[in-house]
Amino acid sequence: SAVISQKPSRDICQRGTSLTIQCQVDSQVTMMFWYRQQPGQSLTLIATANQGSEATYESGFVIDKFPISRPNLTFSTLTVSNMSPEDSSIYLCSVEALTDTQYFGPGTRLTVL
């Protein structure tokens, strides 16, 4: 399985600011994903991070709010823009290797005041 790290592990931010979350994998992977887990809830897929092209967003998520970069096969960033308290969540990246199994990073715990 892949080893995935995320930075920062947690942050407390002010309303109206933006935060960029980094996801690093220890091996090259084709598929990388970003999820949101709101307090006490299950996981919701935000988007698929595509290497060399624009991310593919799920219904209800837009690029202006959650811009994503994927400059290579081991790294991706998710930015949460113009934050409000409703954005307080855990944000997780995941990767899928050849085994059709997704592995998750440790998550970034975001609190917006």
Q: How far is the CB of 56 from other proteins (least distance, A)?
A: 10
Torsion on CA atoms 88, 5, 101, 36, rounded to nearest 10: 10
**d(C-alpha 41, C-alpha 112), whole Å:** 17
Of 38-67, which residues contact other proteins (CB under 8 A)? Answer: 41-43, 45, 48
Rg (CA), the chain: 13
Nearer residue to other proteins within complex by CB, 19 or 105:
105
Tokens of 28: 């090259």
Q: Looking at 1, 20, 27, 72, which residue binds other proteins (CB under 8 A)?
A: 1
- Are 31 and 70 contacting, i.e. CB atoms less than 8 angstroms apart? no
Residue 11 binds to other proteins (criterion: CB under 8 A): no
Closest to other proteins by CB, 95 vs 112, is: 95
Report in angstroms how near the CB of residue 31 gets to other proteins at its nearest: 6
